[in-house]
Amino acid sequence: MKSTVPHLQKGDTVGLVALSSLVKPEMLGDATSFLDDLGLQYIIGDTIQAKHDYLAGSDEERLADFHEMVKNPEIKAIFCVKGGYGSARIAEKIDYELLVENPKIIWGFSDLTYLHCAINEYANLVTFHGPLLMSVERIDAVSKRMFLQLFSPMELQYTEDISPLTTIAPGVARGQIIGGNLRRLVNTIGTKFEVRTEGRILLIEELAETIPHIDSMLQHLKQARKLEQLAGVIIGSFTQTGADEAALFTLMKEYFADLGIPVVAGFKIGHEETNIAIPLGVDAILDAQEKVLKILPGVH
């Protein structure tokens, strides 16, 4: 299990950064209003205004903004406001020892999956897979409440009270929860940030990829031998696939049903109105019979 990070308190200051695609700063109002509602102060990073082609500033600017947020003792959490693409471009230059010395909440998903993998392994820290602040006005009330896990240690329990779940393969597993966006996980393969799956529970989610593309990515994971030693699989939101849910579940069964591990689909984790935030790097229990996922706290 990775090291948990200090929890937030009302009145704390958090940092807002863009480590991937270009941001329209005039769209930040909903994000800052939401932080106001949580009782948090905020510092807006230089990358919110920066522009370099399609990126939120050059690699050097995005890296510097991130490092400044990590070094600043006032800042207790770093929220990535937008995804797209770009975080992989700075992963190799991040000072992971700086993160070890200044552990704090790091929150985001989608393109940030690449950094989740990198930080989990090289700084040995828990990170948070949760809604990007630029889209906070598009998530529902239950997803907004998930930010409260940052204020006190709480075990999360995902049951069918949140969404209908489908058992792809039976069993019960305990292991460290890892993963995120399927494309970004595949992008790590062959790099020093390659996702480690041994004995772990893998979360996968994706947006706007067709069934053949999803198939090709799962095949890549399989041929890279990333499925052989998994403890379990959590199938999150696969939105805008151009196919119905039955086609997706059929594909998932082809890859996961015969691994002898629990696999459950239907989790509202990903690019959807309901996007349940979870810590990555902590121990979890996936019970495919009871259709329940229990996750230990990511903060202390």
Tokens (6 digits) for 26: 């005039």
The proportion of the chain whose per-residue pLDDT surpasses 70, expressed as a percent, equals 100
Beta carbons within 8 Å of 262's beta carbon, 6+ residues apart: 167, 169, 170, 171, 172, 173, 232, 233, 286, 287, 288
Helix/strand/coil for 45 = coil
- The helix (run of H) or strand (run of E) holding residue 245 is helix 245-256
List the beta bridge partners of residue 3. 125
Among residues 7, 116, 129, 271, which one is catalytic?
Answer: 271
**Residue of 84, 75, 74 lying closest to 19 (CA atoms):** 84
Residue 33 appears among annotated catalytic residues:
no
- Residue 294 pLDDT: 98
Each residue's pLDDT, cut to its tens digit, for the chain (300 residues) gives 899 999 999 999 999 999 999 999 999 999 999 999 999 999 999 999 999 999 999 999 999 999 999 999 999 999 999 999 999 999 999 999 999 999 999 999 999 999 999 999 999 999 999 999 999 999 999 999 999 999 999 999 999 999 999 999 999 999 999 999 999 999 999 999 999 999 999 999 999 999 999 999 999 999 999 999 999 999 999 999 999 999 999 999 999 999 999 999 999 999 999 999 999 999 999 999 999 999 999 999
**Residue of 84, 133, 138 lying closest to 113 (CA atoms):** 84
- Residue 246 pLDDT: 95
Beta carbons within 8 Å of 135's beta carbon, 6+ residues apart: none
- Residue 81 pLDDT: 98
With tokens 């930010």, the residue in question is: 147
Residue 228 appears among annotated catalytic residues:
no
- Residue 233 pLDDT: 99
- Residue 82 pLDDT: 97
- Residue 170 pLDDT: 98
Domain limits, CATH 3.50.30.60, in the chain: 156-295
Among residues 7, 21, 143, 205, which one is catalytic?
Answer: 205
**Which superfamily does 156-295 belong to?**
LD-carboxypeptidase A C-terminal domain-like (3.50.30.60)
Residue 271 appears among annotated catalytic residues:
yes
What CATH number should be reported for the domain whose range is 13-150?
3.40.50.10740
Q: CA angle, corner 124, sides to 217 and 117, nearest 5?
A: 15
- Three-state SS letters, 6-25: CCCCCCCEEEEECCCECCCH
Domain limits, CATH 3.40.50.10740, in the chain: 13-150
The 8-class DSSP code of residue 56 comes to: S
- Residue 53 pLDDT: 97
Among residues 20, 21, 87, 110, which one is catalytic?
Answer: 110
**CA dihedral over 110, 91, 102, 66, signed as positive or negative:** negative
Give backbone dihedrals phi and psi of 119, rounded to 5 degrees, phi first: -70, -40
**Residue of 185, 180, 239 lying closest to 207 (CA atoms):** 239
